[in-house]
Amino acid sequence: MLTLVTGGAGFIGSNLVRALLREGNDVRVLDDLSTGSRENLAGLPVERFTLGSVTDRACLRDALSGVEVVFHLAALPSVARSVADPVGVTRANVAGTVNVLTVSRDAGVRRVVYASSSSVYGDTPTLPKTEELCPSPRSPYAASKLSGEMYCRAFASVYPLETVSLRFFNVFGPRQDPASEYAAVIPRFATAMLAGRRPLVLGDGHQSRDFTYVENAVRACILAGAAGPAASGEAMNAACGERITLLDLITELNRLLGTRIEPEFAPARTGDVRHSLAAIDKAQRLIGYRPSVPVRRGLEATLAWYAGGSMGDERVAVEPIPAST
C-alpha cells in the first residue's frame, strides 16, 4: 500500500514511517523540517521525501499522486508556541489540514488519519475524558486541532473521503527533541536527570497526565488507517488510560536512574490543563486499539535511547498489528 506521512520527519511521524515500512508499505514523506529532522529518517528506504509544507497545495498534489492512505501529522505543535504566534499556528494547522483534505479528495485518496490532541478537552474537571464531553479548548493550538477534527468530519460527510481523528495524549519516546524551546516534559526531565541536573517543573507538580509511549500512538495510527467504515468521520482518544503526576514521574525516573534528584519549580504556563486522563473504549471498539506499552516500560526505553543517543530501532515488544480490522 502506498502511504503518505505528512510531518514524517518529526517525532511521531518518523516512528510511524518505521512501522509502516516494517509492515511492507511504500511510504512517502512530506515535511518542511520546521520541527522535524532528516536525521530521524536516516537510512530508511522511503519511496520519496518531499521537502515542503502542507500549506503548499501544488507540493501536496505531487506528493499525493497514487496514495491510498494519508497520515496527517504535520503541524506546529505546542500550546506555548500557539500563545506566542496564533496566526502562524492557525495557518499551518487549520489551513494546512484543509489543504490535505481537499487535495486528498481530488487525488482519490481512500482515507486520511488526522493527528488531533487531548488539548481539545481543555481543563474540564471530568475524568476520564470521553469523546462525548463538550470540547473546551484553552489555547490557539487546541482550537486549531479541534478545527481540524471538524473539517475531517465534514469532509467524510460530504465527499467520498474517509477520515479518522486520533486525540493523542502526551506522547513521548525516542526521537523527541529535548532541546526545542517547546520541548515536552518527559524529554526535558529525562535529559536533565541523565546529566545530573534538577528537572524544572512548571507549576506545583501535582498536575497529572496520561503519558502515551510513542509505539502506542503509532499502533493507533496504523489501526485507524486499516479500520472498517464505521470509524470514518469519528474522533477518538489514543492513550494508555492511566495517569501519573509530574512529581511521581520524577520519582519513577529517579528509580530507573538510581538517583535522588529533586525538582526545581517555576510558574505554570498559560493555557496548560491541570489533569488529563483518557477513556479509550471508543478506539477499542472502532479500530481495535489497546495500548501495548505501559508508561513505565516506555520510560525505560526512552531513557535508554537518550542515554545512548541511538538512532536505531529501539522497539519494545508488542503484539503484531493486524492487516485489517
Burial of 29 from C-beta contacts in 10 A (0-12 / 13-18 / 19+): buried
The answer to whether 289 and 220 have CB atoms below 8 angstroms apart is: yes
Rounded CA-CA distance 45/29 in Å is: 11
Name the 3-class secondary structure at 150: helix
Rounded CA-CA distance 101/112 in Å is: 7
224's CB contacts (< 8 A; 6+ apart) are 113, 164, 166, 231, 287, 289
DSSP state of 231: G
114, 121, 141, 213: which is the annotated catalytic residue? 141
Identify the helix (H) or strand (E) that includes residue 103.
helix 96-107
Residue 182 annotated as catalytic:
no
Q: Which of 176, 175, 183, 177 is nearest to 200 (CA)?
A: 183
Name the 3-class secondary structure at 214: helix
Record the cell numbers describing residue 136, joined without a space.
473546551
Q: Which of 101, 133, 100, 104 is nearest to 119 (CA)?
A: 133
Rounded CA-CA distance 182/257 in Å is: 25
Residues known to be catalytic: 141
